[in-house]
A and B are shown apart, each in its own frame.
Chain A
Amino acid sequence: MMEIRFTLNGRAVTAMAEADDSLYTVLRGLGISSVKCGCETTNCGLCTVHMDGQAVLSCSIPAPRCEGHSIVTLEGLQEEAKALGGCLADEGAEQCGFCAPGLMMNVLALAKENPAATDEEIDAYLAGNLCRCSGYMSQRRAVKKYLAMAAGEVRA
């Protein structure tokens, strides 16, 4: 066991971890329930969080690498995520909701990186976020609406 210190959703935390624990395991241990595990092979995108502002798969980050870094999960972005959550809900696109937090985190990253993304760019950016319920079309509609809304807010 080792002690790891990092910033979680803006607050300094100290967590105990084994050397081979992933950030995902540590976050669940800290009571962060928005991160989900849908595979063991880095395919599904359900565990996406932001590390120093970048979207990463928390299952692929060895916990010790977080020492001194800033980690943000959906719990830390409740206000920012509300509009996007509303766009998904208006399409019925969240369905079972299990993939939603990972998707939300990646879309929020997309909105910062490429706010004027085309359909192809949206699909490519989010390709690592699997969803078995929706068939993706409703999610694409929701993300487009959200990006347009976010762009409008920036202009206004």
Chain B
Amino acid sequence: MTEKKFQPVGAGVRKKDAAALTMGKPVYTEDIAPKGCLCVKLLHSPHAHAMIEEIDVSRAQKAPGVACVLTYKDVPDVRFTQAGQTYPEFSPYDRLILDRHLRCVGDPVAIVAAQTERQALAAMRLIKVSYKVLPAVLDPMEAIDNETIIHPEENWRALVPSCGADNKRNLVAQGVDEQGDIEAELAACDMVIDRVYTTKANQQCMMETFRAFTRMDTYGRLEIVASTQVPFHVRRIIATALDIPKSQVRVVKPRIGGGFGAKQTAVCEQYPAIVTMKTGLPAMLVYTREESMTLSSPRHAMRMHVRLGAMKDGTIRAIDLHTISNSGAYGEHGPTTVGLSGHKSIPIYTHNMKAFRFAWDVVYTNTMSAGAYRGYGATQGLFAVESAVNELAHALDMDPAKVREMNIVREGETMPAYYGEIAGSCAIDRCLARAKEMIGWDEKYPAHTMPNGHIRAVGMALAMQGSGISGVDTGAVMIRLGDDGVYNMAIGATDMGTGCDTVLAQMAAQSLDCSVENITVHGVDTDTSPYDCGSYASSTTYVTGMAVVKTCEELRKKITRVGAKLLGIAEGDALFEGDCVREADGERSVSLTEIANAHMMAGVEDISACVSSGSPISPPPFMAGCAEIDLDPLTGEVKLVDYVGVVDCGTVINPNLARVQTEGGLMQGIGMALMECPTMNERGRTVTNSFLQYKIPARVDAVSVRVEFEPSYEKTGPFGAKSIGECVINTPAPAIADAVYNASGVRVRDLPITAEKILLGDRE
């Protein structure tokens, strides 16, 4: 084996699209829309639950500039799900593009398309609707078997009935996973922490709201250009919703202004799509921030009942978790998100575990439909289980770090609560030790009073996630050798700002021993890109990354074969050396440029490869986080002074991008912990409908966030890598909650942790 000339893996190279993004180039959906696109607007339901009795659009249709006004009478009676998941989706087929039955405030009543936004809005005011208002189910605790049925329709369909969906009972999913005799083990424990924790329907708040434009292409097919994480799923979803063959739909993904899971749901694509189908004209819908806050795909609000059984010495013997998840008016991601609340929290405490039980109910209510948000249920479950572990430590008068050190999963252990997978690469112990050092845990725990009367305190939490969906997620990569030896790489994975175009190019450059600049990357077009389920579930680095490695292996063989042919030697006597193919025991070589140019003449041999990859396992990344807060006991105001995160994501492919992923995820977790408070009024209307009411962290809200890596080596991953995208959002809520307890004696079990809750809470 000759020495490598290039070492792109592990280098903090710039993102390939950095220059375009920083210099304000027109690369996003709205920037590249054709001139004269119709402006599409939605009329939203004012009621949480209602039937349309009458709708009169005759005046609106005649208004200036109006191209069409569509109601439930104009759409196919075919139910679908907006959830971007591999077919057959766990999410039930419970939607129409427009429905006479309105199930939440904001549910679309009519679609208006006009030449300008002003005209569309003016026409919308001319639509006359009379509603029959129905009793609304707003409380998820009252949903199951309520006499009000949210989806009574006969054509409601669950494609995967084993998930326990039953529309007649307002159930999206129900189930239980267990091992051992949980009741007997809990009874045998010295102590059981029995608590209920709740989390809210947080908004992803990507800076670019939902948007898409559509047009008929040269071949008479529907082209959708959308800000989406799941172009291939959007193709299927829209074809199903419009009741047209999938061959008639093409989806293109330009640059995306952030996603965080929000755009794993086809929130808006169907509306311009049906306008284009009806009118033949290009159409664009850009959600307002208000629409993005009130009719989108936020986190599932969950109520988690934890019973954590332990012995006096601190060994954790049993965890029982019951999660109730509010899916809202539709079932998008309902059956799947809930699973992570247990499967990505309980396994952390595998080491001494004798039994566990994880049960769940996912319910329909007349609230905004939930969806996918970074962490995808794990964030909620980890707030509950990690808080319970902290509460256990306090009850036993032990250091929470010590309790964790005793109980955390060790590398090589089988995790029964994680589908029986083995922790093949696991540095959670090193993450914990390093996080403690960085924050100065032993000196600072639990709290001390400052000269100004404020209290400084620390808190900690652990987290895990997965790397793709085992046995489901698929990524394919195609690489072709082009002029002068450049490699053209086509991927179906969607860079949404995370930098996966670049990270995957680094892997290809490593495998092909060339510079990252020698790999061109082409983003997603469902007509030309190889299939990829999309960028979600922390899958891209691990799943699509492995496809890169496999594709490169095949490509190297082909290049070697052609090189050997040109040298006039046997294939076995030739070596691939990145910039050339060389005679194994000789001096002669043929350059990559010569090989590339030769294969473009007289049909020598096509040099391209396309390999798909998936994984039967989903190796968890692990992380430890510690918070230091400053609490004003007079007002209850909490300021985050410092947050440290130490991550085991396996091999770090690009340290800059991995660091920013971590810092960004932590900040979202900090927002969820301290300020983001989605709120609904008694009539089911979301009142936190702008950045004035829904506060996300600004740069003055966290003085210091520090990140380090403690890599393990995942042998099933590309170059030893696992995932990073989601794991990093999970620790702040439980860590900050415990710091607040250490400072104030008040245990907040209901996010967010506000000054009011601290000041008015009971001291324990």
Q: Enumerate chain A interface residues (CB-CB to B < 8 A).
A: 18, 33-34, 36, 38-41, 43-44, 46, 73-75, 78, 81-82, 84-86, 88-101, 104, 123-124, 126-140
B22–A92 touching, CB < 8 Å = no
Taking CB atoms, residues of chain A closer than 8 Å to B15 are: 89, 92, 94
Tell yes or no: B1 within 8 A of A by CB. no
By beta carbon, the residue of chain A nearest B290 is A40
- 23 of the cross-chain contacts (CB-CB < 8 Å) are A33-B28, A34-B24, A38-B207, A39-B691, A46-B207, A78-B23, A85-B23, A88-B22, A90-B12, A92-B656, A92-B659, A92-B660, A97-B21, A98-B497, A124-B700, A127-B699, A129-B699, A134-B667, A135-B667, A136-B697, A137-B704, A138-B656, A138-B659
Contact in complex: B24, A135 (CB < 8 Å)? no
How many chain B residues sit at the interface, stated as a range, is: 35 or more
CB distance from A74 to the nearest CB of B (A): 4
Residue ID in chain B nearest A90 by CB atoms: B14
> Contacts of B22 on A, CB cut-off 8 Å?
81, 84-86, 88-89, 94, 97, 100, 104
Whether A134 lies near B663 (C-beta < 8 A) is yes
Distance in Å: Cβ of B257 to nearest Cβ of chain A: 3
Q: B289 touching A139 by the CB < 8 A rule?
A: no
Give residues 668-725 of B contacting A (CB, 8 Å): 668, 690-692, 696-700, 702, 704-705
Taking A97-B21, A101-B23, A123-B699 as given, write out 9 further A-B residue pairs in contact, using a Cβ cutoff of 8 Å, ordered by the A residue number: A74-B24, A89-B18, A89-B19, A92-B12, A126-B699, A131-B207, A133-B497, A134-B664, A136-B697
Docked CA distance A99–B638 (Å): 28
A34: which B residues are within 8 A, CB to CB? 23-25
List of 6 A-B pairs having minimum Cβ-Cβ separation, nearest first: A96-B497, A34-B24, A97-B21, A98-B257, A135-B667, A85-B22
B705's partner among A127, A132, A135 (CB-CB below 8 A) is: A135
Please tell me if the beta carbons of A41 and B24 are within 8 angstroms of each other in the complex: no
Q: Which one of B255, B289, B663 has the highest number of Cβ atoms from chain A below 10 Å of its Cβ?
A: B663
Residues of chain B within 8 A of A84, CB atoms compared? 22
Interchain nearest-CB distance for A101 vs B (Å): 4
User: Are A132 and B664 within 8 A (Cβ)?
Assistant: yes
B690: chain A residues within 8 A (beta carbon): 39-41, 43
Task: Indicate if B294 sits at the interface (CB-CB under 8 A).
Answer: no
Q: Is the CB of A130 within 8 A of B24?
A: no
Q: Could you tell me if A100 and B691 are in contact, using CB atoms closer than 8 angstroms?
A: no
Instruction: Specify which chain A residues have a CB less than 8 angstroms from the CB of B691 in the assembled complex.
Output: 39, 41, 43-44, 130
Chain B interface helix/strand/loop/mixed = loop
**CB-CB nearest in chain A for B17:** A97
Using CB atoms, name the residue of chain A closest to B289. A39
Q: Which of A132, A137, A139 contacts B260 (CB 8 A)?
A: A132
The chain A residue with its CB closest to the CB of B260 is A132
B567 within 8 A of A: no
Q: Tell me if B256 counts as interface (CB < 8 A to partner A).
A: yes
Q: B326-354 toward A: CB 8 Å interface, digit per residue (1/0)?
A: 00000000000000000000000000000
Q: How far is the CA of A139 from the CA of B698 in the complex (A)?
A: 12
Residues of the B chain whose Cβ atoms lie less than 8 Å from the Cβ of A132: 204-207, 258, 260, 664, 668, 696
Q: List the A side residues contacting B247 at CB < 8 Å.
A: none
Inter-chain contacts of B662 with A (CB < 8 A): 135
Nearest CB in chain A: distance from B298 CB, A: 14
Asked whether B257 lies within 8 Å of A85 as measured between CB atoms, the reply is no
- B48 contacts the other chain (CB 8 A): no
Q: Which residues of A contact B258 (CB under 8 A)?
A: 95-96, 98, 132-133
The docked-state distance in angstroms from the alpha carbon of A99 to that of B664 is: 14
CB <8 Å contact, A135 and B666? yes
- For B21, the chain A residues whose CB sits under 8 A away are 94, 96-97, 100
Q: Are B660 and A100 in contact (CB under 8 A)?
A: no
Report the minimum CB–CB distance from B111 to chain A (whole Å). Answer: 21
Query: B26 interface residue, CB < 8 Å from A?
Result: yes
Residues of B within 8 A of A101 (CB): 23-24
Contact partner of B656 (CB less than 8 A), chosen from A38, A85, A91, is A91
Whether B289 and A135, one on each chain, are in contact in the complex, defined by CB atoms closer than 8 angstroms, is no
Taken together as a complex, chains A and B put the C-alpha atoms of A40 and B209 apart, in Å, by 11
Q: Are B497 and A135 in contact (CB under 8 A)?
A: no
Q: Which of B18, B205, B209, B668 contacts A94 (CB 8 A)?
A: B18
Closest Cβ neighbor of A28 among chain B residues: B30
Q: Is B31 an interface residue (CB 8 A)?
A: yes
| Contact indicator A96/B256 (Cβ below 8 Å) | yes
Q: Is the CB of B206 within 8 A of A33?
A: no
Of all chain A residues, the one with the shortest Cβ separation from B35 is: A31
Q: Which residue, A82, A91, A96, A138, has most C-beta atoms of chain B within 10 A? A: A96
Most chain A beta-carbon contacts within 10 A, residue among B23, B260, B665, B705: B23
Q: How far is the CA of A40 from the CA of B23 in the complex (A)?
A: 23
- Chain A nearest Cβ from B366, distance in angstroms: 26
Residues of B within 8 A of A134 (CB): 660, 663-664, 667
